Amino acid sequence: MRAVGQQATTLCNIWIIRRSDGTVLGFTNHDDDITYEGVTCQAASGLTGAALQTSTGLSVDNTEALGALQSTVICPEDIINGRYDSAEVDVLLYDWKAGQLVSEQFKAMIGEVQVKDGSFVAELRGKSDLLNQPLGRVYQPSCDAALGDARCGVDLTSPEYRTDVTVVSVKDQRYVRVAGLDAYPEAWFERGTVEIMEGGAPMGATVIKSDKVSDAGRDIELWFTPNVVIEPGRVLRVTTGCNRLASTCAVKFDNILNFRGFPTIPGEDWAMSYPSSRLTMDGGQL
């Protein structure tokens, strides 16, 4: 029987997660915290890794990260709010006794994340997965630009599209009544975003589902519960949204020259239509 090498007993795995908001988290399956390149990798975090599937060529490498949801490390609100979407992950093999890296096993991005019964499963996709994604544009009536990006050109920092409001009352964390939107028409901020402010800086954000005027005031409904508690008196920064229609681009944003859709393209019903004696054939528009 071949003896186990001495180094094999001092190896552990390290996971470094770099979120798009700049947050860097570290985890290890060692029994003590490890600091690697300035990142403290927490032990006993409940995070484990499934078997790594690697391949040659341009086939997609993949694995999974399994873990228990712990409020001090990874909370379900962050996952629901998309803070881990497309986050970069480094999977490393580390010699904790020598204090040095042994090998870089896998570089990946977080794909689908499932939350269930107090735990999560995060799919880790290899970088070659980017080459598997279709490129180019889709011919469709609606705009395919993101509101406020370079292709859109709308300045979302303008007071016409962004403002701060004060929370008057809270029904629950997804239904709030605010003051400060009297100058804006109803539904102006639907599909937009709301940032929960603290000390002049945003502490959390989510998407606005509805923006309605009632006899009692202005009511905002959120799609997701934010990861920061909303309470009366707190300041929210709301930014308008867009339904990607040409009429909205022209009227609401005066930006029809930058509209990135094809509003006059025939729909599926027209494309599948056929001549019929029951239709009015007078030379007009079909």
Q: How far apart are CA 258 and CA 256, in angstroms?
A: 5
Q: Tell how strand 39-42 and strand 24-28 pair up.
A: parallel
Residue 107 neighbours by CB under 8 Å, 6+ apart:
88, 89, 90, 91, 126, 127
More confident residue, 50 or 200: 200
Residue 223 in tokens:
């799609």
Reported in sequence order, the residue ranges of the chain that DSSP labels E, i.e. its strands, are: 11-18, 24-28, 34-36, 39-42, 48-49, 62-68, 88-95, 100-116, 119-126, 162-172, 175-179, 193-198, 201-214, 217-222, 235-239
CATH architecture of 9-132: Roll (2.30)
Output the CATH code of domain 162-239: 2.40.10.170
C-beta separation of 244 from 263 below 8 A = no
Q: What type of residue sits at position 49?
A: G
Tens of pLDDT, residue by residue over 151-207, are: 999 999 999 999 999 999 998 889 999 999 999 999 999 999 999 998 888 887 889
Show me where the domains of the chain are located.
Answer: 9-132, 162-239
Tens of pLDDT, residue by residue over 63-98, are: 545 544 444 567 766 776 677 888 888 888 999 988
Query: In DSSP terms, which residues pair with 229 in a beta bridge?
Result: none
Question: Taking the model in full, what pTM does it have?
Answer: 0.58
**Domain pair 9-132 / 162-239, same fold:** no
